[in-house]
Amino acid sequence: MNRAAPSPALPLPPATGGRREGDPPGRRSWVPLERPLPLEAGGALPEVRMAYETWGRRAPDGSNAVLVLHALTGDSHVAGPSGPGHPTAGWWDALVGPGRALDTDHWFVVAPNVLGGCQGSTGPSSRRPEGPRWGGDFPRLTIRDQVAAEAALADALGIDSWAAVIGGSMGGMRALEWAVSRPERTGSLLVLAAPAAASAEQIAWGSVQISAIRSDPGWRGGHYHDAPPGEGPHRGLGLARRIAHVTYRSEPDLGARFGGSAQPGEHPWHGGRYAVESYLDHHAAKLVHRFDAGSYVTLTEAMNGHDVGRGRGGVARALSRARMPALIVGVDSDRLHLPSQQAELAQLLPGADRLRIVESPHGHDGFLIETDQVGCLVRELLSGRPDVRGR
């Protein structure tokens, strides 16, 4: 039976684990948007910078461009090692590169950090035009706002239409919004482990996580970013991560790995931890050193509000706009974004012939872990595109 490895000693948690001014840029680039970004709820963000990374070479007409969209605590670093500027290795590293599913000898791959995130794009930890950080005054965003920012990024890069838009979980929500709101710019579509609209249960899970962060005394109404180490809302963020991680994995996976065993050297009946508790503690400790609590709240609120049918006559009518070739993919053991939701989505989307299933014991995270299966689906999607070389 596998047990969680003990976490290495980590320094005192910073007020925010997000990227700060002066940190190494890594392989990111930035684009400032030319005008204020109008928001669905009203008002506008006066200044927006979008961080992004690219792989491959853009064709002169931009026709070989593929947009890859990350999940909640991901970022633009889809491929490549960890290192200065990148706290983690690429989250889909096995899929991007010469000869891989996203073959960079053929395709120009673009991955932005989502608006509201904390790894380079404008978010709660960013400074306002007049100087102070946004903090708790950062406006509420929707998935539509995030896609509007990504469309402005595409404009700045000279990309009129994507050969494919690909995303999983929160990234799948944005990919679907691209297809519905900008079908003329979405050549083909791959949505993994994401619904057409957030369900009551998914909103409930997200709301509990938001409450965990806002209940932390270190939250300070969202204005904590300049607090000393150890005085930010790291306890609330860590608790939110623990809750979320349980929904990301399946019960059989957790049972097979940990069961009811104690963490080696500890005795739960004497105040120690179970192995599964140590596992959750480990993931919480990692996240608070690389992510921002305000971004976690902002992005979770956006996910809770996801509904492609809002203001468009309902989900079915909204999806009828998206007639591009599409693959809708569920993970068979996913208990967060249920395969039944993807089945309904595949049935309603004109360009999707049927639901595709990734087989995995790992639950929702299967879309990140099962790269061989996902790679086959990416190749299938792109095989119908012309062989465009950006040389």
161 is catalytic: no
Beta strands of 271-345 (E only): which ranges? 326-331
**Rounded to whole angstroms, how far apart are CA atoms 2 and 342?**
32
Give the residue, 382 or 267, on which the prediction is more confident. 382
Confidence of residue 384 (pLDDT cuts 50, 70, 90): confident
The mean per-residue pLDDT over the stretch 238-260 comes to 97
pLDDT at position 196, please? 98
Residues contacting residue 167 through CB under 8 Å, at least 6 positions apart: 68, 69, 70, 71, 173, 174, 175, 190, 191, 192, 194
Rounded Cα distance, 89 and 290, in Å: 12
State yes or no: pLDDT of 5 exceeds 50: no
Q: Is the pLDDT of residue 381 over 70?
A: yes
Distance, in Å, from the CA atom of 191 to the CA atom of 167, rounded to the nearest integer, reads 6
271: confidence class by pLDDT, cuts 50, 70, 90: confident
126 as an active site residue: the answer is no
Q: In whole angstroms, how far apart are CA 208 and each of 58, 143, 238, 243, 304?
A: 43, 20, 13, 8, 11
- Given a cut of 60, is residue 4 above it in pLDDT? no
The percent of residues above 70 in pLDDT, for the chain, comes to 96
Q: Which residues neighbour 218 within 8 Å (Cβ) at sequence distance 6 or greater?
A: 15, 224, 227, 231, 232, 233, 234, 235, 236
**What is the mean predicted confidence (pLDDT) over 56-62?**
95
In the residue annotation, 169 being an active-site residue is answered as: yes
Residue 237 three-state SS: helix
All domains in the chain, ordered by first residue = 29-383 (3.40.50.1820)
pLDDT digits (tens, 9 = 90+) for 281-313: 999 999 999 999 999 999 999 999 999 999 999
Among 103, 216, 307, 334, the one annotated catalytic? 334
16-38 pLDDT, tens digit per residue, is 999 998 999 999 999 999 899 99
**Calpha distance 158→155 (Å, rounded):** 5
User: Looking up tokens 């929707």, which residue turns up?
Assistant: 142
Cβ contact 230:251 at 8 Å? no
Q: Which residue is catalytic, options 169, 188, 278, 333?
A: 169
Instruction: Give the model's pLDDT for residue 335.
Output: 97
